[in-house]
Chains A and B, each alone.
Chain A
Amino acid sequence: MTSLINKSLVKSKAKNVFSSPWAALGAWIIAILWTIPTFGLLVTSIRPEKDINNSGWWTFFVNPNISFENYQQVLFEGSTTNPPLYQFFFNSLAVTLPAVIFPITLAVFAAYALAWFEFKGRDFIFFSIFALQVIPLQLTLIPLLQLFAKGLVIGDVTIIPDLNITGTYIPIWVAHTIFGLPMAIFLLHNFLRQIPRELIEAARVDGAGWFTLFSKIVLPLSVPAIASFAIFQFLWVWNDLLVGLTFGGGAKEVAPMTIRLAEMVGTRGSGWELLTAGAFVSIVVPLIVFFSLQRYFVRGLLAGSVKG
């Protein structure tokens, strides 16, 4: 298996030659078009407040007037109600890491089961999970919150006791895990299904159990899929406001950065200058994640296995 991967890696490196300059040009044009609005945000974030309200951001280049006050204010100014932003930054990390790792682990398991175990009702379960994606998050908040706050009691039978975990990270992690699962299972199932049947069957014939099969073959092959989904789950959790707000119980000690940023906008919705800077502070981490995970999109992990 490993030799197969190495071989195709070497091969794909040699194959870089067929990139066309026209394709590159097209891609660059779209990329630049895509970035203009965000670039406007970046420029806005280093302009003084009065300029922002009184002239377009592009006039900055005619009349450059740089102020890093916005960043200064966003990053370092706490208040009597709020600790400085860096604490929220770490809160965000503490929220996000488990809220990415938990659902992906569980989803890879479930996707593997749904893709390769033969059992009755498999399609039913898969499409039920698929359909669950459409349930609006807002409508699930109340029942789930009740569960965390009071446990689950049906009649006189306590099914889930009151765990007294309100105000900790645990409800946030669990909630993100639940909300991330349907889509994760759906996407990963699609990737895992494409592993060639011959590969699985050959391993089974060699006497590999379902668990060995998973850890020795399926998991290594699904690295790009996991990496791409990890990026999205990371983004959703990192940029989430609603789940943190609802399941954090209002405790500042667990509140992610988005909650603090949303507060900075000001009571009546003014104060763009802070938001623009805040948006750029929060964008840095997702971009790092994207860069670091991108290298897992390697050609040829499934080399030699033509489907169909």
Chain B
Amino acid sequence: MSTLRRRVVALGATAVAATLVMAGCASTETVTEETTATGSDACAAYEAYMGNEGTEVEIYTTIIDPEASLFIESFAEFEDCTGITINWNGTQEFEAQISVRVEGGTAPDIAIFPQPGLLAKFAGNGLVPANDATSASVDENYTADWKTYGTVDGVFYGSPLGANVKSFVWYSPKTFADKGWTIPTTWDELLALSDTVAAEGSVQPWCVGFGSGDATGWVGTDWMEDLMLRFQDAATYDQWVSGELPFNDPKVAEVLAEAGKILKNPAYVGDVASIATTTFQEGGAGLVDGSCAMHRQASFIGGILAADFGATIVSPEDTTTEGGITTFYFPGVSADNKPALGGGEFIGIFADRPEVHAVQHYLTTPEWNNKKAALGGWFSANLGLDTANVADPVNKVAVEILQNASTFRFDGSDVMPAEVGAGSFWKEMTAWVAENKSDKAVLDAIYASWPY
């Protein structure tokens, strides 16, 4: 290592340490000397990742500010102690750019894939299998299915990072209390409640928005998946996702018809066609300004509604806060049928270097997951995650669901072949509401596009 490089690294480490006011590991001279010299308690925990001083690791991701800053913050101690510099490189063009960079020979060291389906594309095409330490850590800290999402043809590549839970209906506890509505526990009760709200007339029962730029329609696929898990069993869901069950099978048609009971009912959602042109952010906003009663959306919408529309996330018991929103479980067919649908990110590595493995390994540990969760607005499926570190009441419930749900399934469209999962499924669900396309035409069109 040249002296020049060393100086630069040391300078970087100092800058980070200074901004974050991190005591203990801050270096003044060079990282190498300082860490070995002090060997302070804070750094003892990082024993497993030592020996990579002065190296750099690039993380390429869709996650950008403000979330990115929290990630950087959560790495600071790791960086100071191990001497590994993590360069966070976030871009919204990730999905298109990652293949350009891999093919072009400038693959990042680490990529955070928003869907496991995308990660699988790079297995055998640049992706480096996780090493034994990472693999063992994932075995220990996650349920087995999370490991399978990152496994392609028996080789384990992608370790789980963040997670979200989708089986939520957002509502305002204050409105519900004021109107005397009760939380439904079955699908029929949910429909009955929708009728009650519609009959009462002051608010629209549901707000729905499918709009999301060139990914418009994904909200619709989430509805389908959630109901698929409810009206069919988990095994059927798996067959559906893998393509064993044809997309136009009567079992799928049954589920779409159930979804239509809400999504295509003008008494519940207002103008059906404009669901397609309402963005998913605006869809949730109706809850905050009181123009609708319920909104089915994943846990992450809370952060958006809080940041952009002035919502406050409260616990279900809080029936007094104006503009307070929270969630109830998206009910199943019966009250004891409680499957959960979720999603998450996966870390894949493209460089077989010890420091890269070290970072991947570190991100699977309960230590890091707790540290990150404590910074707020985030959680993962890590079993070592202490719910005490998750401040947000909705996220707290989500973590409990992740850790305890009897049936948990991953977002199906993220696992389906891209032609469907990032193509026809979105497009057809959009046409289903926008052009009032029939159930049969929708399912047949998706079936036709499936690369069986």
Please report A residues at the B interface, Cβ cutoff 8 Å: 49-50, 53-54, 79-82, 138, 141-142, 144-146, 148-150, 166, 241-242, 245-246, 249-250, 252, 259, 262-271
Contact = CB atoms under 8 A, between A and B. Distances in A.
A80 B307 contact: no
Given A53-B285, A79-B66, A269-B212, 10 more contacts: A49-B308, A50-B309, A79-B68, A80-B19, A166-B106, A246-B101, A259-B91, A263-B64, A266-B64, A266-B66
B105 A250 contact: no
Contact of B68 (A49, A81, A245, A259): A81
* Size bracket, chain B contacts: 35 or more
A263 B91 contact: yes
Interface of B: 16, 19-20, 58, 60, 62-69, 72-73, 87-93, 96-97, 100-101, 103-106, 108, 212-213, 279, 281, 285, 289, 300, 304, 307-310
A268 B281 contact: yes
B65 A146 contact: no
A141 B104 contact: yes
A264 B65 contact: yes
B92 A145 contact: no
Interface of A is mostly: helix
B103 A142 contact: yes
Given A142-B103, A166-B106, A270-B281, A245 B65 contact: no
A269 B281 contact: yes
Contacts of A264: 65
Contact of B103 (A50, A53, A146): A146
A263 B65 contact: yes
Contact of A242 (B93, B108, B300): B93
A81 B58 contact: no
A174 B326 CA distance: 53
Contacts of A250: 58, 60, 87, 89, 91, 108
A263 B90 contact: yes
Nearest to B281: A270
Contact of A82 (B58, B60, B65): B65
A241 B66 contact: no
A142 B89 contact: no
B104 A146 contact: yes
A158 to B, nearest CB: 15
Contacts of A242: 93
A243 B128 CA distance: 27
A270 B304 contact: yes
B308 A81 contact: no
Given A141-B100, A142-B100, A271-B308, A265 B105 contact: no
A266 B281 CA distance: 12
Contacts of A79: 65-66, 68-69
Given A80-B72, A81-B65, A267-B67, A149 B105 contact: yes
Contacts of A246: 97, 100-101, 104
Given A246-B100, A264-B65, A270-B307, A81 B90 contact: yes
A265 B20 CA distance: 25
B106 A249 contact: yes
25 contacts: A49-B308, A79-B66, A79-B69, A80-B19, A80-B20, A81-B69, A81-B88, A81-B90, A142-B100, A142-B103, A142-B104, A145-B106, A146-B105, A150-B105, A166-B106, A241-B93, A245-B93, A246-B100, A250-B60, A250-B91, A263-B64, A267-B63, A268-B304, A269-B281, A270-B308
Contacts of B108: 250
B211 to A, nearest CB: 10
Please provide the 10 A-B residue pairs with the shortest distance between their CB atoms, ordered closest to farther. A145-B104, A149-B105, A250-B89, A80-B72, A263-B64, A142-B103, A270-B308, A79-B69, A150-B105, A149-B106
A53 B309 contact: yes
Contacts of B63: 267
A149 B67 CA distance: 31
Given A49-B308, A80-B19, A149-B104, A267 B93 contact: no
A35 B95 CA distance: 34
Nearest to B303: A268
Contacts of A53: 285, 308-309
B83 to A, nearest CB: 18
Nearest to B100: A141
Contacts of B309: 50, 53
